[in-house]
Structure 1
């Protein structure tokens, strides 16, 4: 009878069962235990983004609004997640400048971070935006691709704690305004390919706009779009740009964010791109055979992802992906401009998506916000993914009643596809402030089984939002290592069964607006004290099944190996 449990029943069951480790609550009540503390300064992270502004000019340029990116990687292979934070610079960029550099922070056992950019030969001085993390050469060490305003850069991890720039030989520089990027194996040949989302072109770096004599950000509608690009990894250190010929690029995009995932269970990776004021893109991967010529079709309109529920293109920025209603299918959440409301696209049984923002109670709370970075995370480990959103305007119109700095928001997943905003006063000091929030990346930096987040801002230091929720449920954290699949195993899906409840998580790439999450899947298990079954579906086409697993553990599963490697949590 367990196979007949509906997603709605799973939501109700989890709501009842989680009362065993926390007081019962109704759908509309706030979560009393979810709380975060900004531990950046205490942990040694001292980073503030410089947006290239020139106060003497009295004007504002488009690139001054986007902020810096955040990427999570374990560059030294010690299992502790490290942080890469991108930096701007004075305009125009100077190739010799050393005043504003990207920062690489090494995680020292979940207690402190050390800035090691110089030691790692990784002090990029370009005007950087997002960063993609992936194992380009399959040596087991994560590499870094930097999306810049101007030529991008690719750094290979040497495995000895240092990086080497290989942009020229790889052929991946480009010369656009790159907002976000992702490394993932699109053709199934075991090599990480590269997707690059570009924003605007034309005179975007020179034009300055005014409103009633006051300098303001120019509207993206006055600039042409920059084309997105797909680079295929040739396996010899070089890449080939194939986006146009294989259907993975389309005109008039003005892209800001992306997520790469297996949306339909086909073991093929598709791409969702959030566009600013134009229809979103959904490049469905239709490559007929593993390792064969790439083939994509742009299907956002027929998939229900191009527009909002009223058929309008929105100014889209951040993206989060998870199974919000426990039906086993990935859903998408997209942040939008002020007075547009954010959008929750829930996937239907036929593979299409429907804007369920209103039914999910996410529309009204976001109407007076301008959303940027966003991620799903299970704050209290009850098995239902909650939602974290950063906000902040692009123009200072506060004198006319339009908010400029805005508070972040946390939405508790109340089950049955509905959310409830948690009051800022219950979430911690950070949530009671107002910011120009931008990128948001998910990680568990102290490996205590509670998901944390790294938030970047235009006008404030980076925040390390450390989850301090108590009480909370049990958990399982899973790392995946591909062998027949690409080593990063992007698109691999893990399904858990605990009694009548089922949970689904997937390794993704891109991870929204200028962000790369930790490559680790964390499952909140509520009161469950045993995992009856764990199923891994690998991109290469094989499945692995494990049964009778303990909870409150970290686990590494290597494709094709019979036994996972387990670790006790740090807490």
Structure 2
């Protein structure tokens, strides 16, 4: 196994974050009671070995010196850096605050305590005693950092690029989020609250001064910050930062303006975020040179816990939050991929990292030294505070008693279910996805873990793990990795920033480019050692290394041997180089259409809780003449050939889904009286095309839709004959939205590109484990009840997707069978519905990928690969281009879907995917910064008009793009 858990007797680390619950100290009195403490790693005594500091919420903090060979000794008392006894210690940071070459310690406090007991401490390193023990003195007041706020952690960085370290203090409001309205929200956001809000401190010659409001940062009481990550997100040389906020308060994405101020651009750069955002980290997970953002939330990975802990959708609350100026949120981890143009595509579900339960620390690091950053996540909450049965019990308890008394707390706490879950580790596959390696790497053991760091504790070239636990000894994991090479980089900065915090290092080795940034605050309430680690795989040499220092100076090295520690010095760097900008191919211009689509205001799910998605939110439709229709009736007329073909009907009917309006196919204006059997019991047809697939001069009809395969028909003797098996043997069913036929491989025959849901969604589907829909009038009330089901990857069993409240809200007759959430949570589909009525319609989807079928020499069609970015979101439009004039067909794919179930969240990661074709059926993704497309919303039609591309977007104004770059 990659990791081995070392015992306390082996390491000497006996730290345990022990909580003592009582009438005044419990989760019901203080909601952050189980949030845990942090860990800091760094060389405090200058002996070249990494030491460890742990914070305990109520017990004693611990400082351990590394004596080598993974053996540590407790020097907390001798060092004088233990902090005050008692509650409530939170985060810890190691940094050389006074630039004397020695790491200092900053300790944060919070809790429902008097202000004096919350005063943060800055322990300045005074040097070592004769035994090599570092001695510390609290000088927080002298430095202006003795804040009495409800603090989680202080982050040191040089935001104004003046050569010294400034501080960003992450605070939180200890009280639950109140019910807000737009007026109240505006009032609160306009009132600075230094005790609860975010605080920015500028270092003025060793004295830190609060410049929060002057810098444009919101420091109001609407602050529930649990995590903060710093990075140069737009590669302009200035550090930006991301704040993870709990509850409905939106996260903040602050971009550095380079003039001492920041601007929150979350709403412009991200489509949605985590709901209860917790820990976070920033790193380049796909090795494209742009830092990506990972935020954690609380979504369990298995069916049972998900149904026990997930609250019901509340669209009214979401609408109120949006009216308050908040952002779209969904309860799951989010992986925000940096597009390189300042915006982000959220692909956590596609990447396989969206569900890790109640999570705290996110660490992006290369644990197996293969050249790709992996992910370690701590999680756990001592009690299942959000267990739906407990919430119902507490609501009933309070309703019966009138109000909650302090004497009632013990009984309520005993009713709260305990929780022990595993932490998670994911290996980076190098293709934009991760695989769960928790068991394979030896990390699967129950715990309630919070802060965590990585560090090469034994100096063998791989990263070990240190994890802080509640009511359990800390984990020290030794990394046993062998075979792969590595490079470790230490930075010697200048002036007041000796660790080079903010520096960016890029290496090229083994055909892979990797990027790291020197921002040591990582791992939830924690900080890692100020050293950059690169795994190199089997590459024995680094071909090139480029470091950009915080002041913009650069340094280049070549042909560096692997498996060593190197030191980079600011004094050896060169002046700032000129930046090269990319001219985008397309630019947005004013639309010639003065039109805004009016979206339906209907809430489909209010009356039909079991609908898999909303169906009244369509359009707008643009034709090639720029004409617009808001029509709700789906109709596709396939002109340009003989005979003319029209496909109509098959539309959503309220209370009848998936039984739809009758499908009609007309030939030369005459409806066919008889349709093929394959069109009788079918899902919703959403796309149609016609083309001569076999070269016989007659055109075939191709159809696709939701819960349907790609279907191919020949028109023979006045009838449609199903020829799907002839062209697409074993054609999989999908949730198809679009069809496009064109000769993409140059063989003279049309190929088939079908737009599907994509892989960045709640479900996975295959022939063996499809997504399924059973539909019948199950309660005999005259309306159809659609039951969506899926296979849980955790155990391979098939479960209904509906929550208990959704199911009972539509099928009240099941209430006696499922009087509580626990009874329902583990029920498979066959247990909930052991039999189905004879008239039940059974549909399935086996494939969710947008798919390219290329014509084969034998007349059939075969699968061809597409770039991963195509699968980021549903594809609804496919447009042919030749933007670079090379004679090969290029493609523009657009789509998204913002009207899915609230608990599924928006699918909005398609900003206009431009694919460059090679003429042989192969396609390459053109990055957004190069293509220039920054489309947002649900694109439903694209039309080429003269030299413009016009986009019809649901509920938005028509947008237009024009090609400006013609030389390539």
Which TM-score bucket, shorter chain as reference? 0.7 to 0.9
Q: Secondary structure at the match of 2:78?
A: coil
How big is the shift at 1:110? Answer: 3.7
Match for residue 166 of structure 2 among 156, 178, 193: 193
Q: Which residue of 2 aligns with 1:179?
A: 152
For residues 286-309 of structure 1, give each alpha carbon's deviation from its aligned partner in whole angstroms, at most 9, with x where no partner exists. Answer: 123xxxxx211112221217x33x
Structure 2 distance, partners of 1:269, 1:238, is: 21
What corresponds to 2:261 in structure 1? 295
Separation in structure 2 between the aligned mates of residue 404 and residue 492 of structure 1, nearest angstrom: 41
2:368 equivalent to 1:380: yes
Question: What is the 5 A alignment of 1:467-546?
Answer: 467-469=479-481, 471-483=482-494, 486-546=497-557
Q: 2:276 aligned with 1:315, yes or no?
A: yes
Contact 2:199 2:219 in 1 (8 A): no
Report the equivalent of 2:75.
Answer: 116
Q: CA deviation at 1:57?
A: 7.4
CA deviation digits over 1:2-32, x for unaligned, max 9? xxxxxxxxxxxxxxxxxxxxxxxxxxxxxxx
- Stretch deviating more after TM superposition (455-464 or 222-231): 222-231
Q: Which secondary structure state, in structure 2, belongs to the residue aligned with residue 321 of structure 1?
A: strand
CA distance in 1, matches of 2:388, 2:256: 48
1:350 to 341, 360, 366: 341
Q: What's the CA shift for 1:41?
A: 4.1
Q: Report 1:104-253 matches (<5 A).
A: 104-125=63-84, 127-149=88-110, 150-160=118-128, 161-201=134-174, 204=175, 226-235=196-205, 237-251=206-220, 252-253=222-223
Q: Which has the larger radius of gyration?
A: 2
- Offset, 1:405: 1.5
What's the TM-score, normalizing by structure 2?
A: 0.48
Aligned positions of 1:539-554 closer than 5 A: 539-554=550-565
Using the TM superposition, give the Cα deviation of residue 62 of structure 1 relative to its aligned residue in structure 2, in angstroms: 2.2
Once residues 441 and 377 of structure 1 are traced to their aligned partners in structure 2, the CA distance between those partners, rounded to angstroms, is 10
Compared CA separation, residues 440 and 551, structure 1 to 2 (3 A): same
Please give the alpha-carbon distance, in whole angstroms, between the structure 1 residues aligned to 2:64 and 2:203.
28
Partners of 1:516 and 1:475 in 2: CA distance: 22
For 1:353-368, list aligned pairs within 5 A: 353-363=344-354, 365-366=355-356
SS at match of 2:421: coil
| Structure 1 unmatched runs, 5+ | 1-32, 90-99, 205-218, 289-293, 564-571
Question: Which 5+ residue runs of structure 2 have no aligned equivalent?
Answer: 111-117, 129-133, 181-187, 300-309, 311-330, 391-416, 575-968
Aligned ranges for residues 270-289 of structure 1 at < 5 Å? 270-277=240-247, 278-288=249-259
Change (3 A) 1:270 1:146: same
SS at match of 1:64: coil
User: Hey, what does 1:447 align to over in structure 2?
Assistant: 459
- Supply the distance in 1 between the matched residues of 2:2 and 2:466 (Cα, whole angstroms): 17
1:371 counterpart residue number: 359
Say whether the 8 Å CA contact 1:39–1:466 is kept in structure 2. Answer: no
Change (3 A) 1:400 1:158: same
Aligned partners of 1:230, 1:40: CA distance in 2, in Å?
A: 39
Write the distance in 1 (CA, Å) between the matches of 2:425 and 2:374: 7
SS in 2 for 1:332: strand
* 1:394, distance to aligned residue in structure 2 (A): 5.2
Distance in 2, Cα, partners of 1:420 & 1:234 = 47
The answer on whether the counterparts of 1:80 and 1:110 sit within 8 Å (CA) in structure 2 is no
CA distance in 2, matches of 1:549, 1:435: 41
Distance, in Å, in 1 between the alignment partners of 2:27 and 2:124 is 38
Go from structure 1 to structure 2 and tell me whether the alpha carbon gap of 1:190 and 1:41 turns closer, same or farther (over 3 Å shift). Answer: farther
Measure, in 2, the Cα distance between the counterparts of 1:521 and 1:337.
30
CA distance in 1, matches of 2:200, 2:366: 32
Quickly say closer, same or farther: Cα 1:287–1:562, change in 2 above 3 A: closer
Q: Distance in 2 between matches of 1:488 and 1:222?
A: 44
Q: Secondary structure at the match of 1:125?
A: coil
For 2:349 and 2:573, the matched residues in 1 are separated by 45
Q: CA deviation at 1:53?
A: 2.5
CA contact (8 A) 2:452 2:526 kept: yes
DSSP 3-state at the match of 1:42 = helix
Change (3 A) 1:542 1:44: same
Measured after TM superposition, the shift of residue 249 of structure 1 is 3.0
Q: Which residue pairs with 1:390 in the alignment?
A: 378
TM-superposed deviation, 1:230: 0.8
TM-aligned CA deviation for residue 522 of structure 1: 0.7
Q: What is residue 263 of structure 1 aligned with on the other side? A: 233
Structure 1 consecutive aligned stretches of length 4 or more whose deviation exceeds 4 Å: 55-59, 219-225, 397-403
Larger RCO, structures 1/2 (Cα 8 Å, 6+ apart)? 1
Q: CA RMSD in A?
A: 2.4
Structure 1 distance, partners of 2:197, 2:382, is 24
Distance 1:164 1:38, change over 3 A: same
Q: Tell me how many residue pairs correspond in the alignment.
A: 487
Counterpart contact for 1:478–1:556, Cα < 8 Å: yes
Secondary structure of 1:158's match? strand
Residues 232 and 239 of structure 2 are in contact (CA less than 8 Å); yes or no, is this contact kept in structure 1? Answer: yes
CA apart distance, 1:54: 2.0
In structure 2, C-alpha distance between the alignment counterparts of 1:422 and 1:185, rounded to whole Å? 36
- The 3 A distance-change label for structure 1 pair 101 and 52 is same
CA contact (8 A) 1:391 1:437 kept: yes
Aligned-residue offset at 1:465: 1.8
Q: Deviation at 1:234? A: 1.2
Q: Is the 8 A contact 1:132 1:510 kept in 2?
A: yes
Tell me if the contact between 1:181 and 1:197 (Cα under 8 Å) persists in the aligned partners. yes
Asked if the contact 1:406–1:435 (Cα under 8 Å) also holds between the matched residues in 2, the reply is yes
